Amino acid sequence: MPKTRYYRPWLIQIMNLVLLFTLANPVSGGKMTQLVEKEVPSLVKLYQQLHAAPELSFFEKNTSARLAGELRAAGYEVTTPVGKYSFADYTCYGVVAVLKNGEGPTVLVRTETDALPIEEKTGVAWASKVRMQDITGEEVGVMHACGHDMHQTVLVGTARVLAGMKDRWSGTLILIGQTAEERGAGARALLADGLYRRWPVPDYALAEHLDPGLEAGQVGYCPGWAMANIDMIDITIRGVGAHGARPHQGRDPIVIAAQVINALQTVVSREINPVDPGVVTVGSIHGGSKHNIIPDEVKLQLTVRTFTDEVRRKVLEAIERITVNTARAAGVPENLLPLIHNRSEEFFPVLYNDPELVESTVKAFQSVLGEDKVLEQIPTTSGEDFSEFGRTAHQVPIFLFRLGSAQPGSDPSSRPGLHSPYFKPVPEPTIRTGVTAMTAAVLNLLGK
């Protein structure tokens, strides 16, 4: 008994310190959890409605209007449409929502609004049945197969929770609804329309992206170089058409294309330092119309993935050198050498997660989700134009984290991936985790 009385004051002091930390720390407090739980049912409905009504890049008028309405209802000052495309005369339906709450840093949180030209095959009750014309005029099925509907839902949930916790943070919150992410155009359009001039330049920028490789309830992070440069390249290999029975009278672009495709496989393996990642993929080849006709041209579509400007330069130069000189070697006249077009309007720059911002935010994640739910990941050669928000002269530190969306306990090998017509996130736990994590990330930066 005396020993117990001796230690009791120390126990009381420890308990008081824990209580004081819990009340003082806006990330670990119970108020956030209560507010998140209150919003989950309506957010699930919002997610299902957004999923059932997707719109393609450049056509996100109704989606952006819905997002703007939700943010206004949460108490934010909303401006839309915002954005200016430099390469086409499309209306940019970007959304900028602001909540000012005293002195302090400015934090930007971004979501995307566009969907993909994919016909959905999930069979869920809220599956998309939408069909619409794409930029070429072709009618296609449309689906949120990359999770942008979930990203919007998480943004709205975060907006509501933070509006209800204004006593726990101080500063300015800027929420962005970005169009045309799948085309690599939306972030540049917002910046071109004065995002960092018309509104405060953020001290930090945050975003998240669904990851079917993680279970719902988990989040992933990758400090430093996290996602690759992406170049989209169109190549037209021209030749001289002829009868299939008299190939000597022409210059066969199909044979030249085959030689080019094989030679391109040596760019990364033989011209780039083995420790530097790189990918050159020919994703499309079209040429010819009939068995016995040698066509005049063959069209190729390539995607190139790199992590540094130097490797990117070397790869792009090698692609042009190999393509042009293969055609020369086949006897193609100089005036018919291949046409190579890098679709700069669809360029995704490499994404660099600021290590200090990552480290700080990960601690916030661990405090609300548990250390076992916060997983470090390796870089990926997929791309994200969220990187644009950190590449301006302002050098804003950015962090995009990954949000698990797979059924807990499911077989990883059987999970449909992003851009699959069968992609099917688990709504409720994914939303709960996403809103909790993003709210914690913002409070970590703005918390009093």
Cα separation, 109 vs 70, in Å, equals: 15
Tens digits of per-residue pLDDT, 311-323? Answer: 999 999 999 999 9
**Final residue in a domain of this structure, among 346, 378, 397:** 346
CATH number where 137 lies: 3.40.630.10
Q: Return the structure tokens found at 40.
A: 């989950």
Cα separation, 258 vs 252, in Å, equals: 10
76 and 112 together in one domain: yes
Q: pLDDT value at position 28?
A: 56
User: Is the residue at 398 inside a domain?
Assistant: yes
385 and 243 together in one domain: no
- What is the residue-wise DSSP string for 197-223? HHSPPPSEEEEEEEEEEEETT-EEE--
**Final residue in a domain of this structure, among 286, 321, 346:** 346
Q: pLDDT value at position 30?
A: 87
Is the confidence at residue 33, as pLDDT, over 50? yes
Q: Return the structure tokens found at 342.
A: 């890098």
User: Is the residue at 64 inside a domain?
Assistant: yes
Q: pLDDT value at position 273?
A: 95
160 and 31 together in one domain: yes
pTM: 0.88
Tens digits of per-residue pLDDT, 207-218? Answer: 999 999 999 999
Q: What is the mean pLDDT of the chain?
A: 93
Report the domain count for the chain: 2
Tens digits of per-residue pLDDT, 178-223? Answer: 999 999 999 999 999 999 999 999 999 999 999 999 999 999 999 9
Q: pLDDT value at position 27?
A: 62
The better pLDDT of the pair 23, 418 is held by 418
User: Is the residue at 11 inside a domain?
Assistant: no
222 and 123 together in one domain: yes
Cα separation, 98 vs 176, in Å, equals: 9
223 and 236 together in one domain: no
Sign of CA dihedral 280, 285, 287, 292: positive
Q: Is 348 exposed, middle or buried (0-12, 13-18, 19+ CB in 10 A)?
A: buried
60 and 189 together in one domain: yes
Of the candidates 350, 434, 353, 446, the one whose C-alpha atom is nearest the C-alpha of residue 156 is 434
Range of the domain at 317: 229-346
Tens digits of per-residue pLDDT, 132-145? Answer: 999 989 999 999 99
- pLDDT-based confidence at residue 332 (cuts at 50, 70, 90): very high
What distance, in Å, lies between the first and last C-alpha atoms of the chain?
42
Q: pLDDT value at position 26?
A: 57
Q: What integer is the mean pLDDT of 333-355?
A: 95
**Final residue in a domain of this structure, among 318, 346, 374:** 346
